[in-house]
């Protein structure tokens, strides 16, 4: 293998501008001017795209990709070639200078520069190879100081052949330097010697499996450091999964195995087919364009695609502005990252040589399937084209035997699954449809590379082959921080979550769902509905549930489901958001809510299926989307609806049990923080008060709070009633581990919620959920018992306790009129800086049909400090009283719902009054947005 195959000739450097007779200072000045002009041209090329109002033209955008990196590498080649000549002649180190140190060194490009492409602000990575590394320090100084003066960031090292070979045996970066090595100037024999030593030792055929395993370990460790997933919300374009570093690994593997790592070279060697190479080149260029834009906009090396940078890149690359444009751009990024991730695995597998070893165990399973050396494979890969169902037959055998698929069999399946003729034939096969459904519903653990059968089918392309309608949602994203995964990854994860519920392995976290999942009588209906619940997002817009149900009709009929099962599955897809919205945005204590919800489900079996689909969907939207509060709301809605459908209007037995447990918890309180200390008569007094307290609180409160928490609330209410202070505030045991529970008991009055939320906002606490209750006290006054689940914006749950003393003081001052709540919130909010996140569209809905006694106001907007105060203060100023408040946080979006009445007890009148209420709330939200913008 010749070094010149990969290293090539420098070429095109010419002589220094000063010529043989020019002075060194003149020559250096000309080199400096040449580089400055070249760098400015590259910067202008990026600036044209960044500054264009509608983004760059197609040609300008295309040139911003790898071609720009190659232009920069060529500029650096010319810079270093001229500089090497100038400083060598200046120091008398030409070839005529016998014994000069300059005749004993070689200058080489390594890293991305060695591979011939350098991102716009990436460092220049050089190695000076010397026969005597100590004496070569003078060469390094002569080259580096002029480079630094020109503003070139250089990573460099002076090495000898022996030192580099020795370190490469144990140090992977040193080994990859050998694979990237590109001779620039100086003694070519040194570079040739280095490469020959590498080929005969580290990269010898017998050493390849070990070297490739080291590459695999590097991939795993790096991915773990940078998030572990292709589908991160703010991915690292270079180092993340599916990033450009993964392509570097693939090139190193190809260079080590075949002597050439570039995509086109891998096609010549038969390691890639032309289609695979074209897909990899397109994916690489997409990431290069984004990376160069990141560097240009930051004017430094910057590889993380943050939310604000996503908006910039989407506009510059011609996707347009706004959330949908960002979603399209990020979908393209994720598809490219997925292509690179698959390409890396493919090349690593193909590059690993099969070494002769012991005789392998073989077993023929029939139907073109066999076991080979502990893996399931096909007898003849060519049969996959004539018998497409074989691709699913071999996968079924792997699941049934508890064995993995042979790596080369996975490759063969992935290759044919990319062919339209194979996919069309596969969809025509009744056997394939039956096996696909069987694999989809498989709940057992497997040894498949991707984990579960549905993940394996998606990785291999069989999911898209069977359901091409799924293709548009592959890589499709939401421009928010709540939906962490792309639509396809989330849908597959939801199926896996459903299988885990059936296995019962999540009983500690999902007790009720696991019990119900074991009783599912129509698994085909539930599993296909879970897989396809978001397929309607392929088109975009808002009503994806209806579109998905319509699309699923043809898909499920093609898969062989009966018309009845198709109807049930499509109904689940159409209604898959209903249960979540009712649970988190409606008053579950209102019988009308339960009755209306039950009209949306198909009996108790349909309710169970919808509940399980909702749990699988919500719990895989993001790692933190299924909070314990949301889980409890879903459980309560399911139980209430199931009781309603079974003819039980009220669960009196459960309610009585909760009251009894709460009463016992009050008796177990060790100490009472009363005015005169604890005395026996006070214990009796507290017991009598607890009976009145429990009788006066609504059912929703008693059923949704733990007995120990209810006891703590009762003690606080008793203390407030005895001491007559405006409010008592305390932290009580929380059932929600992600938030601390704050209980505020106060004499109810107009504007109380606004006052409380003002003090909470001023204390820099985030409200994640809330319960608003009121009861009649012994003196015929109304006592408010308001519960808030909060986190400190900086220190989470742990930081809440430190905020309580100040919160109590400020709440008392607001209630007594000594402090203005609005001014306090504005003053404290100005000190906070919220990190830039995707925009959230604000929506305010006023509905008087949901509840017979209250008007329901629903506010969807971006979460921000002081938001709950702004809304509650607006309602107070409108003269509305709040009976129920449901606070729901979805990433950076909130869906806050308030059940309100006029001061007269009436619902909000339709028409002019409804419009006034909506406009007043929207105005308050705009003011809050403006205040936040001004403070920033």
Average pLDDT, consecutive stretches of 10 residues, N- to C-terminus, the chain (936 residues): 33 39 78 94 93 88 94 96 90 53 90 94 93 83 92 91 88 91 93 88 81 92 83 88 95 92 90 91 96 95 91 92 87 92 90 64 89 91 95 96 91 92 96 97 91 94 95 80 80 95 90 92 95 86 85 96 96 96 88 92 96 95 83 91 82 76 80 50 81 86 85 91 86 82 89 88 83 76 88 76 84 83 72 63 89 91 86 92 84 87 92 94 89 58
Cα gap 849→865, rounded to integer Å: 31
Q: Where are the alpha helices (DSSP H) in 816-858?
A: 821-829
Cβ(506)–Cβ(500) under 8 Å? Answer: yes
Collapsing DSSP to helix, strand or coil, 765 comes out as strand
DSSP state of 405: B
Strands 375-378 and 727-732: unpaired
What pTM was computed for the model? Answer: 0.79
Strands 740-747 and 782-792: antiparallel
Q: What is the DSSP string of 777-820?
A: -TTS-EEEEEEEEEEETTTBGGGHHHHHHHHHHHHHHHHTTSS-
For residue 200, the tally of other CB atoms under 10 A from its CB is 9
Q: In terms of Cα–Cα distance, which of 119, 4, 139 is closest to 72?
A: 119
Residue range 209-351 forms a domain whose CATH class is mainly alpha
Collapsing DSSP to helix, strand or coil, 743 comes out as strand
Cα 881 to Cα 58, 289, 415, 850: the distances in Å are: 57, 55, 64, 17
Strands 124-130 and 105-109: antiparallel
User: What size, in residues, is the chain?
Assistant: 936
Domain boundaries, the chain: 14-202, 209-351, 358-466, 729-935
Which helix H or strand E contains 544, and what residues bound it?
helix 544-558
Cβ(636)–Cβ(684) under 8 Å? Answer: no
Cβ(632)–Cβ(735) under 8 Å? Answer: yes
Which helix H or strand E contains 236, and what residues bound it?
none
Beta bridge mates, 772:
786
Strands 362-366 and 105-109: unpaired
Cα gap 112→116, rounded to integer Å: 6
The helices-and-strands tally (H runs, E runs) of the chain is: 40, 17
Within 8 A by CB and 6+ apart from 713, the residues are: 693, 705, 732, 743, 745, 785, 787
Within 8 A by CB and 6+ apart from 267, the residues are: 273, 274, 277
Cα gap 240→219, rounded to integer Å: 10
Q: What angle do CA 860, 865, 871 make, to 5 degrees?
A: 50
CATH architecture of the domain 729-935 equals: 2-Layer Sandwich (3.30)
Q: How far is CA 370 from the centre of its chain?
A: 39
Cβ(559)–Cβ(433) under 8 Å? Answer: yes
Topology annotation, domain 14-202: Beta Polymerase; domain 2 (3.30.460)
DSSP state of 902: E
For residue 771, the tally of other CB atoms under 10 A from its CB is 21
pLDDT at 359: 56
Cα gap 682→702, rounded to integer Å: 24
Cβ(732)–Cβ(712) under 8 Å? Answer: yes
* Sign of the dihedral through C-alpha 441, 443, 446, 449: positive
Cα gap 531→495, rounded to integer Å: 6
For residue 522, the tally of other CB atoms under 10 A from its CB is 16
pLDDT at 465: 96
Cβ(185)–Cβ(107) under 8 Å? Answer: yes
Cα gap 126→144, rounded to integer Å: 10
Cα gap 84→139, rounded to integer Å: 9
Which helix H or strand E contains 604, and what residues bound it?
helix 603-618
């Amino acid at each position: 293998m010749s070094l010149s195959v990969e290293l090539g000739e420098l070429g095109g450097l010419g002589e220094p501008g000063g010529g043989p007779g020019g002075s060194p200072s003149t020559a250096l000045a000309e080199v400096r001017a040449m580089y400055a002009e070249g760098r400015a041209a590259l910067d202008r090329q990026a600036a044209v795209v960044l500054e264009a109002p509608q983004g760059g033209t197609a040609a300008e955008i295309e040139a911003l990709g790898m071609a720009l990196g190659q232009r920069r590498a060529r500029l650096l080649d010319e810079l270093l070639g001229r500089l090497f000549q100038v400083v060598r002649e200046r120091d008398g180190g030409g070839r005529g200078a016998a014994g000069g140190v300059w005749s004993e060194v070689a200058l080489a490009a390594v890293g991305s520069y060695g591979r011939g492409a350098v991102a716009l602000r990436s460092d220049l990575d050089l190695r000076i190879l010397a026969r005597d590394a100590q004496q070569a320090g003078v060469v390094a100084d002569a080259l580096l100081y002029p480079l630094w003066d020109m503003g070139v960031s250089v990573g460099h090292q002076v090495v000898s052949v022996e030192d580099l070979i020795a370190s490469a045996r144990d140090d992977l970066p040193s080994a990859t330097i050998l694979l990237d090595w590109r001779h620039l100037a100086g003694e070519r024999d040194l570079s040739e010697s280095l490469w020959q030593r590498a080929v005969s030792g580290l990269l010898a055929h017998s050493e390849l499996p070990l070297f490739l395993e080291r590459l695999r370990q590097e991939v795993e460790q790096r991915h773990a450091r940078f998030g572990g997933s292709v589908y991160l919300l703010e991915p690292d374009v270079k180092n993340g999964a599916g990033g450009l570093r993964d392509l570097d690994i693939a090139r190193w593997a190809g260079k080590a195995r075949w002597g050439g790592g570039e995509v086109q070279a891998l096609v010549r060697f038969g390691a890639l087919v032309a289609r695979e190479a074209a897909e990899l080149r397109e994916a690489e260029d997409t990431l290069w364009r984004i990376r160069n834009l990141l560097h240009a906009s930051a004017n430094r090396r910057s590889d993380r695609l943050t939310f604000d940078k996503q908006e910039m890149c989407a506009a510059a690359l011609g996707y347009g502005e706004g959330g949908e444009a960002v979603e399209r751009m990020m979908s393209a990024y994720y598809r490219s990252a997925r292509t690179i991730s698959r390409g890396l695995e493919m090349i690593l597998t193909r590059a690993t040589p099969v070494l002769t070893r012991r005789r392998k165990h073989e077993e023929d399973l029939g139907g073109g399937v066999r076991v080979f050396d502990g893996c399931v494979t096909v007898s003849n890969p060519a049969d996959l084209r004539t018998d497409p169902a074989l691709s699913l037959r071999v996968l079924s055998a792997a699941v049934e035997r508890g064995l993995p698929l042979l790596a080369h069999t996975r490759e063969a399946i992935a290759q044919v699954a990319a062919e339209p003729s194979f996919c069309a034939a596969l969809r025509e096969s009744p056997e394939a449809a039956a096996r696909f459904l069987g694999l989809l519903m498989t709940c057992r653990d497997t040894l498949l590379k991707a984990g579960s059968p549905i993940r394996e089918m998606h990785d291999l392309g069989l999911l898209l082959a069977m359901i091409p309608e799924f293709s548009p949602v592959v890589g499709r994203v939401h421009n928010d921080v709540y939906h962490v995964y792309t639509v396809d990854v989330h849908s597959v994860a939801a199926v896996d979550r459903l299988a885990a519920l059936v296995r019962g392995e999540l009983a500690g976290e999902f007790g009720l769902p696991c019990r119900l999942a074991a009783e599912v009588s129509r698994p085909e209906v539930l599993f296909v509905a879970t897989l396809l619940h978001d397929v309607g997002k392929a088109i975009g817009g808002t009503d994806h549930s209806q579109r998905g149900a319509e699309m699923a009709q043809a898909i499920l009929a093609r898969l062989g489901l009966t018309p009845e099962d198709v109807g049930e599955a499509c109904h689940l897809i159409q209604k898959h958001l209903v249960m979540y919205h009712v649970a988190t945005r409606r008053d579950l204590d209102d019988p009308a809510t339960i009755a209306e919800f039950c009209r949306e489900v198909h009996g108790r079996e349909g309710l169970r299926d919808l509940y399980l689909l909702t749990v699988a969907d919500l719990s895989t939207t993001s790692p933190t989307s299924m909070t314990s509060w949301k889980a409890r709301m879903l459980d309560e809605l399911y139980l209430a609806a199931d009781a309603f459908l079974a003819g039980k209007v009220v669960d009196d037995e459960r309610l009585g049990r909760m009251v009894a447990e709460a009463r016992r918890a009050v008796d177990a309180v060790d100490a009472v923080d009363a005015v005169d200390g604890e005395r026996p008569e006070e214990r009796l007094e507290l017991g009598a008060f607890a009976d009145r307290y429990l009788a006066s609180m609504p059912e929703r409160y008693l059923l949704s709070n733990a007995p120990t928490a209810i006891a703590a609330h009762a003690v606080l209410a008793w203390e407030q009633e005895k001491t007559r202070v405006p409010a008592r505030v305390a932290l009580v045991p929380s059932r929600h581990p992600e938030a601390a529970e704050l209980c505020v008991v106060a004499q109810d009055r107009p504007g109380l919620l606004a006052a409380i939320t003002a003090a909470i906002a001023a204390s820099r606490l985030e409200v994640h959920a809330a319960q608003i209750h009121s009861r009649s006290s012994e003196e015929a006054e109304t006592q408010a018992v308001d519960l808030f689940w909060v986190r400190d914006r900086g220190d989470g749950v742990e930081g809440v306790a430190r905020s309580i003393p100040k919160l109590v003081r400020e709440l008392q001052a607001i209630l007594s009129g000594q402090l203005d709540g609005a001014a306090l919130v504005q003053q404290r909010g100005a000190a906070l800086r919220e990190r830039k996140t995707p925009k959230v569209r604000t929506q305010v809905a006023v509905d008087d049909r949901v509840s017979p006694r209250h008007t329901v106001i629903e506010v969807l907007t971006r979460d921000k400090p002081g938001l709950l105060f702004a809304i509650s203060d607006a309602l107070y100023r409108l003269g509305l009283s709040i009976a129920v408040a449901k606070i729901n946080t979805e990433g950076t979006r909130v869906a806050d719902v308030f059940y309100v009445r006029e001061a007269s007890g009436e619902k909000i009148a339709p028409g002019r009054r409804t419009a006034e209420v909506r406009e007043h709330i929207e105005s308050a939200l705009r003011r809050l947005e403006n205040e936040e913008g001004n403070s920033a």
